[in-house]
Chain A
Amino acid sequence: MMASSYSTKEEDGHQSGAPGPGGGVNAKSRKPDNTAFKQQRLPAWQPILTAGTVLPAFFIIGLLFIPIGIGLYVTSNNIKEYEIDYTGVDMSSPCFNCSQNYSWNSTKPCRCSVSFSLDQPFESNVFMYYGLSNYYQNHRRYVKSRDDSQLNGNLNALKDPSKECEPYRMNDGLPIAPCGAIANSLFNDTLELYYNDPNGTKTLIKLVKTGIAWWTDKHVKFRNPVGDGSNLSAVFQGTTKPVNWQKYVYQLDSDPDNNGFINEDLIVWMRTAALPTFRKLYRIIEKQGDATPTLPRGNYTLLVTYNYPVRSFEGRKRMILSTISWMGGKNPFLGIAYITVGSVCFFLGVVLLIIHHKYGSRSNNADISS
């Protein structure tokens, strides 16, 4: 105890060999500030989740969700939707023959017509979709296989597409426009819809092919390269078509506003679907007037120019006619889910109410330590 022994004192891992000359360093007290923050006494809200306090929340959620759910369900139910599979897997199916001799480069188009009837008239605008199943547009390497700069009209990218497009980047020494696997596998069936009048005549229903892509896609994201003239073929000079395509990108449509990269069918296809079963907007059937429904009930014929092979991946092709509401297409799930969750919350609320009645008083007042 009397042996004086010492060693260095250090702070923060730093030597304090000699702080300040002559010990004149002690001017400032090291006393911590007595502030609310430093002493961890900040004013605070301390919610305690007890049955009593959360009861209203449960009931409110329940009471809000159930009406919302009902509303959604009703809305969804009011949407009219008709779906027809024209893949032609069955022998009986009219497109069976077409589906058998599929090939990407078959020059002779195969046509088949599918008849169907609508039980109910479709009021308002009708959206015509094509649907594909078991089609993994979301495959990682497939999703990547595109060049957005090229699609945005970048001339450099047009001539020298991104590496991501490999192996659909160059063909025969020429850059492919549009490059990549997505564009290469563009959906190329043509669908025509005829109304079979009860009197026997077939009326071709007018299908609007613009307005099916996002406005921003059409006007900002996708752009044709700016060339010397207005002639698209000149702009795309020196590029070649994707391997599976039968025509060049500037031959997609006759309308210059819907040709080349800004062809809406291409734009819609390029927006890769999230799930393996998806639909894509194909055409819009606009409502003609207030008097007649857009699609009256009756028989229809779908004339398919069958180009797109799906047998290789056991896929299905569908044509969907649907009206839409503010919440999009027909999907009862949200409505049902809201009703269910709302009911569960309500039920839990009741259970908690019982619990609160039984135990809540205990935690709220007297007998806390029992």
Chain B
Amino acid sequence: MTHSIDRLSCCFRRPETTGDSETTPLLRPPHQDREIPLPAALRHVFPNNAISVNAITPSHKQLMDRYPGNKIRTTKYTLLSFLPKNLFQQFYRLANIYFVFLVAINWFPQMEVFHREITMLPLLVVTVASSLKDALEDFRRYKFDRIVNYRAASVYDWKQQDFVLKRWKDVRVGDFVKVVCNEVIPADILLLNTSDPNGVCHLETANLDGETNLKQRQVVRGFAAPNCSFQPEHFSGTVVCEKPNKTLTHFKGYLAMPEKKKIGFGRESLLLRGCTVRNTDNAAGIVVYAGHETKAMLNNKGPRYKRSKLERKMNTDVLFCVGILFIMCLIGALGQYFWLGTFPSIPPFVPPDSNNVYIPPSLSGFYMFFTMIILLQVLIPISLYVSIELIKVGQVFFITNDVDLYDEETDSRVQCRALNITEDLGQIQYVFSDKTGTLTENKMVFRRCSIMGTEYCHKENALRLAALDEAESDEEDPAFPQKKVPSRLQFRKGKSGAALRRWNSARARIGVRGQAEVTLSPHSDVAFSSPLETDVAPDRRLQRITGDEAGQMEAWCRVSRINGGACYMDFFLALAICNTVVVSTAMHPRQRVTGPLNFSTTLKSLGHIQTLLKRLGSLSHVISSLHSISEKSSPTTPASPPSPAASGPAGDKEDMGGITDSGSLNTSLEDSEADLPPTEEAATERSTDPNSDGLCYEAESPDEAALVHAARAYGYTLLARTPDHVTIRLPQGSLLTFEILGTLAFNSVRKRMSVVVRHPVTNEVVIYTKGADSAIMERLAKSAENQPEENKRKRIAAKTQRHLHLYAKDGLRTLCIAKKVMSLQAYTDWLAVRQEAESAIDNREELLMETASHLETNLTLIGTTGIEDRLQEDVPATIASLRKAGIQVWVLTGDKQETAVNIAYSCRLLDQSDVVFTLSTASLDECNSFLDCTLEEVKRYGVQPPWQSGSRGPAFGLVLEGHTLGLLFEAGLQLRLLELSRHCRSVLCCRVTPLQKSAVVKLVRNKLKVMTLSIGDGANDVSMIQAADIGVGISGQEGMQAVMASDFAISHFKHLKKLLLVHGHWCYSRLASTVIYFFYKNVAYVNLLFWYQFFCGFSGTAMIDYWLLIFFNLLFTSVPPIVFGILDKDISAGTLLSLPELYKSGQNSEGYRHSTFWVALLDAFYQSLVCFFVPYLAYQDSDIDIYSFGTPMNTASLFTILLHLAIEIRTWTVVHWVVMVGSVLLYFIIALSYSALCIDCNPPSNPYWIMENQMADPVFYLVCILTTVLALLPRYTFRVLQGTLALSPLVRARQLDTLSPQVRESFIREWRSQEDASEAASDQVLSSPTGPGSPTEPTVDRGLSLHKDGNEDTEKPFSPGHRRSISTMTI
């Protein structure tokens, strides 16, 4: 061991020594290193104080000046740069380039159709509108920046030798900044000093990531003694750290002190901009990154831009429109050419050009082509893009305002982070879900444990949870009901009612429920945990044992060295100690408890123990150690001798339980059992008593909190924690304070954490480790001194493994608890290596990991815990609904197979009657053969995937293991897998890495060409969320990374149902209809002009006044479709939710297909023909002039186009009416006033009095009415037939909506039952023995499980190295 440590320390030293020459020129006095440039890969920060300012070299000063200040500017433009920059951005867009092209060709007199100015109008409108929008947004950002920049920060000024108030924007790198409690940190600061004696500073990162739990930050270790006041003027080191980067989880560097000492520091010493200091009076440090270089700002990305499926489809149709335009222009060009050819000589109505030269027909035709582009430009629906953007803004507004998607607990609405893919929500075919935190609450409840191979199933706790569930399901009132839990166990007897709230926080808090003054503002900075997590009803059997054991101080002290002795105590101590839970009081939620709270209790219990021990007389060293430690850990404890009388008897009675009586260690076992509250009632009473100790546990992970609460339920209460000490109250009320020698933090690679403590009684160094079974089991001591010992160990390990398996099958999360006792000497040896590792700047992470694993060997297994990760509310119902909606739900989880499968069963992803195939093997051949057999078998039930056809076959489930999945991907068998999965109703991938998750999503998305949605809550889901068409983040417990990467962020999985089924459906059907309508509208209108070309010699004349032509699209017919796109509601939310099948219409893109597009175009052609030829025939061979001829066409066209929309609108609200009537009125007002005022303006149309003249003519009305009726007749009739014959489910559902609620209810039920009946019928067919190729027993044992354990599983005693089994997964 010593040898290896030497070797290790060698490796540590090496990089440092080699690095010395490269990276440490700063260690020398500055004046010496003028020639040596600073390494570019690192950032050097020279403190901004007198010493440094005077000593700094000019080059270094330049370097410092080059670091940006703390002023932030998130605006895109400045006042000056706005116009050029914005214009550039605008013309970067294709649509605007099209406009520019039109303007340009209109500039040639040969092709000029409109006035040059008029052609610029659409361009101008679009540009100005977007500019205004951009400017407004930018101004908002500017205002916000200003507020932030002008905040006050207390910055050290070396001239005044004191901290002065400065604005945030004036803070510079190298400044010393002091932040006080509850202040926001202005820049990324290296923590050098805090008011805390332990050099700890607490942060709340809610502003950064929404997590409200406290995070500890540590003063740069070894820099300053905690208690001496920090003097910036004496700080003479230089900070060397990484260049600014956006990784929040990594930060390293060192302090180069003048005395050539290097002090390493890491992430735990960095205070990030935007966090809030809590629970610490003040903290000071040096700014290392400022302004835009802070990690918070670097992580700030703009909204993402995705293109939705509908938009992609639309773009192809726009291309079709371009094609149509091309053809039309070609017709125009050829027409002009041939038309000119028909005349024997030049007619008087074909004037020569301005140079009196007649243009030859071919050239004229060529010009005509471009003229026609200008004339028919509207055919390319540029307005569509603008309108769609507006519509989506409206849709997003309504989604975010949905009160059903609002979560009271976190006060969060649904967030739409990607603004332009709302309609994709209505087309989802595959949902990929994470398990933990998404399907489950990530709220851990202690369920079972196994200690030394004995299982304690905690029946009482299970009952309590069941009762709680019941209570929760009863709870309908959204206001926080103060309600007693109808629990048989009466776990909160005599106290005021328990508020059954589920607070979305990892923090657990006890003891405030009874207090009326606690405000329950959802966003208050104190979050509560539900009794679900905090209360644990102890197992009776275990309670008795621990009671016994704890009572026997003596025994414990004596036997603690012996392996296996006092293991129960060790188990609970490990639960209570081995974590990073922060304790604070209920009254002062952010005041960390550093010492025991109840001093009277402390004294009393101390006194008790002292007396006890004195009476024993043999353990005097324990007394001293206890005494000294308690004094040390709680400096405020009065030095006065313990006086039992000082404490109030009433409170102590409850607190102390039976300590007074059981105090005597001589008391017999029976006595102590009798004295200790033996019933679970009393025990729970004590452990959850709100007034006994207003303790509040704040854990970084919910598992930890659950374990601490579990320990507490057995009387092992974690009272206080400091970086150096942890105080535990034993069941008897006595206090034990352990000195923490080191904490080996958890990370996902190690999958375990350890705490090294010095035992106060035995003075031994004890390591408590907890972690995943795989991480612990392989680190257990392999050999023991003697054979029986060895056998016992193996037996325990085997038993525990069996329990682990059992827990996993129950869907519990398992953690193994182990301990190790080592000598002080061994520990100090290790510590030396560790410290080396800590100060290393290169490979620090790896080195730390290596040292950690060095310590965590030869562990002794104590036990294991099973923690339930409870399903989120309504998860099974949501999954069932999604299924009915035709959505395939896949679950991708990193959890192990058993846990995942069980969660899948409990959330009804898998059904008991499903045939489940499990693929878990390390051999490729077996994969292959497995795929072959299963495909074979699956295909026997029909070629059609069961979820597609109406009749359903047996449902198949597929469980894939991550390792196998990787194998399949490597071998290129993805497509076969995909083929198999298409036959399966649900697919479950377990033990998959984040990368595999995204690979699976991409595979399905790209190969099946389906719309996918990923939903997850953790950082491990980010890649999957980004890979899918729509990423949904759950703003839950695991930080905000998933939310940051997502397109939509919701707070519960159940919200997915309404988001998809209602909003998705609405958005899709709205947008699809609107897009189709826009295409139709443009074609219908523009074709009028096109038809006219046949009667004006293809000369490009428009018979409608140009202004009216432009206003037609811009004003008269623009608003109604937008309102339609935002507000139209084909089916009510209730019906959509109760009939998820309706969602399928969106999946099949029924709203917008190419056929729909072409039908709309045909209709548009028909309507334009009617709109042109009815007036044409009516005015044929009359004395009508061009613009009088155009007026009825324009008017009839307006009516047709608006009434066409009216036919399509399915819900008429006030808004619709106002907009529709308003549009018509606007048209008449503008047209009338325009033609009344314009006497000789706007040549050549010169519309003076034309409109008035027409409106005085009855024929005008006759023509308009006839045209409109005739144009709309086919569509109207078609819609009527559709409505009457009610062939599509959507129409039937619409009809349901008009019925009264009761009738509707019964119809929906009927519909439902029919669906089920058809399902059942198909099942019947399949389960009948005559079914095609039915296996021996259709309902039993069709599961085929292939399980070959890889090397990583070899430590499992029950799974031999190589095995292939076909086992039953299903009954």
The chain A residues found within 8 Å of chain B, CB to CB, are 1-19, 21-23, 26, 29-34, 38-40, 42-52, 54, 61, 65, 68, 72, 129, 131, 135-149, 151-152, 154, 162-164, 166-168, 181, 184-185, 214, 216-217, 220-221, 244, 268, 271-281, 309, 311-315, 326-329, 331, 333-334, 337-338, 341, 344-345, 348, 352, 355-356, 359-360, 362-363, 368-369
A–B complex contacts, Cβ < 8 Å, 18 sampled: A4-B215, A6-B1041, A7-B1040, A8-B209, A8-B1044, A18-B148, A18-B186, A23-B276, A46-B1212, A146-B1244, A149-B1240, A216-B1248, A221-B1240, A268-B1183, A312-B347, A352-B1284, A363-B1283, A368-B1310
Q: How far is the CB of A242 from chain B (nearest CB, A)?
A: 11
B1211 lies within 8 A of chain A by Cβ: yes
B88 lies within 8 A of chain A by Cβ: no
Complex Cα gap A217–B1249 (Å): 9
B1188: A residues at CB distance < 8 A: 274
Residue in A9, A30, A344, A356 with the greatest tally of chain B CB atoms within 10 Å = A9
B1240: A residues at CB distance < 8 A: 148-149, 151-152, 154, 221
Q: Which residue of B lies closest to A151 (CB)?
A: B1240
Complex Cα gap A105–B411 (Å): 89
Q: A5-B1039, A355-B1281 are in contact. Are A167 and B354 (CB under 8 A)?
A: yes
Within the complex, which residue of B113, B299, B703, B1211 is in contact with A7, where a contact is CB–CB below 8 Å?
B299
A17: B residues at CB distance < 8 A: 72, 148, 207, 273-274, 296-297
Q: How far is the CB of B166 from chain A (nearest CB, A)?
A: 15
Which of B394-402, B616-624, B671-679 touches A? B394-402
Q: Which residue of B lies closest to A273 (CB)?
A: B1185
CB distance A129 to B1183 under 8 Å?
yes
Q: How far is the CB of A200 from chain B (nearest CB, A)?
A: 35
Which of B282-290, B733-741, B745-753 touches A? B745-753
CB distance B524 to A26 under 8 Å?
yes
Complex Cα gap A362–B1291 (Å): 13
Q: A6-B209, A312-B344, A369-B1311 are in contact. Are A341 and B1286 (CB under 8 A)?
A: no
CB distance A142 to B351 under 8 Å?
yes
B884 lies within 8 A of chain A by Cβ: no
Q: A51-B1280, A185-B348, A328-B1259 are in contact. Are A18 and B274 (CB under 8 A)?
A: yes
Within the complex, which residue of A15, A22, A139, A221 is in contact with B350, where a contact is CB–CB below 8 Å?
A139
Report B1200-1227 CB contacts with A as 1/0, cut-off 8 Å.
0000000100111111000000000000
CB distance B1307 to A368 under 8 Å?
yes
Q: How far is the CB of B147 from chain A (nearest CB, A)?
A: 9
Complex Cα gap A118–B1186 (Å): 32
B345: A residues at CB distance < 8 A: 312-313
Q: A9-B1043, A279-B1182 are in contact. Are A14 and B74 (CB under 8 A)?
A: yes
- What's the count of A-B pairs with C-beta under 8 Å? 410
Complex Cα gap A65–B1265 (Å): 10
Residues of B1095-1116 whose CB lies within 8 A of A: 1095-1097, 1099-1101, 1103
Within the complex, which residue of A8, A146, A341 is in contact with B208, where a contact is CB–CB below 8 Å?
A8
Residue in A6, A271, A272, A313 with the greatest tally of chain B CB atoms within 10 Å = A6
B92 lies within 8 A of chain A by Cβ: no
CB distance A276 to B1243 under 8 Å?
no
Place the interface of chain B in its size category: 35 or more
B1276 lies within 8 A of chain A by Cβ: yes
A33: B residues at CB distance < 8 A: 401, 403
A16: B residues at CB distance < 8 A: 207, 274
Within the complex, which residue of B1185, B1244, B1282, B1283 is in contact with A144, where a contact is CB–CB below 8 Å?
B1244
Q: A31-B406, A185-B349 are in contact. Are A8 and B1269 (CB under 8 A)?
A: no
Complex Cα gap A271–B1182 (Å): 13
CB distance B297 to A15 under 8 Å?
yes
Residue in A14, A329, A348 with the greatest tally of chain B CB atoms within 10 Å = A14
Residue in B343, B401, B580, B1190 with the greatest tally of chain A CB atoms within 10 Å = B401
Complex Cα gap A164–B297 (Å): 59
CB distance B300 to A8 under 8 Å?
yes
CB distance B700 to A2 under 8 Å?
yes
B1297: A residues at CB distance < 8 A: 46
* Further 5 A-B residue pairs, CB within 8 A, beyond A40-B1127, A139-B350: A7-B209, A16-B207, A21-B151, A49-B1283, A129-B1183
Q: How far is the CB of A314 from chain B (nearest CB, A)?
A: 7
Complex Cα gap A166–B112 (Å): 14
Residue in A19, A23, A309 with the greatest tally of chain B CB atoms within 10 Å = A23
Which of B45-53, B899-907, B991-999, B1172-1180 touches A? B1172-1180
CB distance A4 to B207 under 8 Å?
no
CB distance A22 to B276 under 8 Å?
yes
B1266: A residues at CB distance < 8 A: 65, 334, 337-338, 341
CB distance A214 to B1096 under 8 Å?
no
A152: B residues at CB distance < 8 A: 1239-1240
Complex Cα gap A6–B1097 (Å): 70
Report B1146-1189 CB contacts with A as 1/0, cut-off 8 Å.
00000000000000000000000000001011111111111011
Q: How far is the CB of A326 from chain B (nearest CB, A)?
A: 6
Q: A143-B1186, A360-B1284 are in contact. Are A369 and B401 (CB under 8 A)?
A: no
Q: A44-B1213, A152-B1240, A279-B1182 are in contact. Are A214 and B1295 (CB under 8 A)?
A: no
B273: A residues at CB distance < 8 A: 17-18
CB distance B302 to A13 under 8 Å?
yes
Q: How far is the CB of B900 from chain A (nearest CB, A)?
A: 15
A129: B residues at CB distance < 8 A: 1183
B182 lies within 8 A of chain A by Cβ: yes
CB distance B411 to A327 under 8 Å?
no
B704 lies within 8 A of chain A by Cβ: yes
Report B690-712 CB contacts with A as 1/0, cut-off 8 Å.
00000000001101100000000
CB distance A337 to B1174 under 8 Å?
yes
A166: B residues at CB distance < 8 A: 353-354
Q: How far is the CB of B1370 from chain A (nearest CB, A)?
A: 31
Q: A279-B1183, A369-B1311 are in contact. Are A31 and B403 (CB under 8 A)?
A: yes
CB distance A29 to B1273 under 8 Å?
no
Q: How far is the CB of B1104 from chain A (nearest CB, A)?
A: 11
CB distance A333 to B1177 under 8 Å?
yes
Q: How far is the CB of A306 from chain B (nearest CB, A)?
A: 16
Complex Cα gap A184–B348 (Å): 9
B747: A residues at CB distance < 8 A: 2-3
Q: A9-B1043, A214-B1249, A369-B1292 are in contact. Are A359 and B349 (CB under 8 A)?
A: no
Complex Cα gap A47–B1263 (Å): 28
A154: B residues at CB distance < 8 A: 1240
A14: B residues at CB distance < 8 A: 74, 140-141, 144
Q: Which residue of A lies closest to B1294 (CB)?
A: A48
CB distance A142 to B403 under 8 Å?
no
B911 lies within 8 A of chain A by Cβ: no
CB distance A31 to B411 under 8 Å?
yes
CB distance B209 to A9 under 8 Å?
yes
Residue in B151, B353, B703, B1213 with the greatest tally of chain A CB atoms within 10 Å = B1213
Q: How far is the CB of B1309 from chain A (nearest CB, A)?
A: 10
Q: Which residue of A lies closest to B364 (CB)?
A: A141
Report B1311-1354 CB contacts with A as 1/0, cut-off 8 Å.
10010000000000000000000000000000000000000000
CB distance A277 to B1181 under 8 Å?
yes
Q: How far is the CB of A298 from chain B (nearest CB, A)?
A: 26
B521 lies within 8 A of chain A by Cβ: yes
Q: A16-B207, A329-B1182 are in contact. Are A139 and B349 (CB under 8 A)?
A: yes
A362: B residues at CB distance < 8 A: 1286
Complex Cα gap A191–B256 (Å): 111
Complex Cα gap A220–B1240 (Å): 10
The 6 closest A-B pairs by CB, nearest first: A313-B347, A274-B1189, A6-B209, A166-B354, A26-B523, A2-B746
B533 lies within 8 A of chain A by Cβ: no
A369: B residues at CB distance < 8 A: 1292, 1307, 1310-1311, 1314
A9: B residues at CB distance < 8 A: 207-210, 1040, 1043-1044
Q: How far is the CB of B1033 from chain A (nearest CB, A)?
A: 11
